Every structure is written in structure tokens, then in C-alpha cells.
Amino acid sequence: MAHLQFSTTEVAVIVGVPEADITREPLATAFMRGRLQAQADVRQAILTAAKQGSTPAQKEFQSMAEKSAVMCGEG
């Protein structure tokens, strides 16, 4: 469910467990893995579109690269 960007509260309701269970290990790591994998999939699609000449995708990819550089202390 996290790969669909549901919150921990929403996932807890959907699967019928207390939210506290989802925010503790090992479920917290699994939850984060799902969110990050979905983001990686979207970024891959943006990169593919950018390589194929999509101007909006190129702009989005450049924006992501700049944000990443700032987060890494490069910007």
C-alpha cells in the first residue's frame, strides 16, 4: 500500500492493524521501501521520457537532479 503513497494511518485502516505496528520495525522499513520503490519507478519513467526528447520530462529530471544535489551538499 505504501507504493501507492498511502499514509501509515491509511495503511493501518486498510489492513486492519494499529498504526503503531506499521511505524515500528520491521514494518516501518517495509513501508519506506514501498514508498521509495514507487518513487524510483516514477523517476525512471521521467528519465526514459526525457531521453526520448520530452521537454517537460527533461525539465522535471533537471529539477530532481538539482534538488538531489542540494540534499547531498553539492548545491
Task: Name the more confident of 73 and 40.
Answer: 40
Q: Look at residue 70 in the predicted model and tell me its pLDDT.
A: 84
DSSP H/E element including 36: helix 27-51
Distance between CA atoms of residues 46 and 22, nearest Å: 30
> Which residue has better confidence, 44 or 72?
44
pLDDT tens for 10-48 read: 999 999 999 999 999 999 999 999 999 999 999 999 999
Give the residue from 40, 36, 13, 16 showing the smallest Cα distance to 28: 36
Q: According to the model, what pLDDT value does residue 75 have?
A: 59
Max intra-chain CA distance, the chain: 46
The C-alpha atoms of residue 64 and residue 43 are separated, in whole angstroms, by 9
pLDDT at 73: 81
The structural domains of the chain, with segments of one domain joined by +, span 2-71
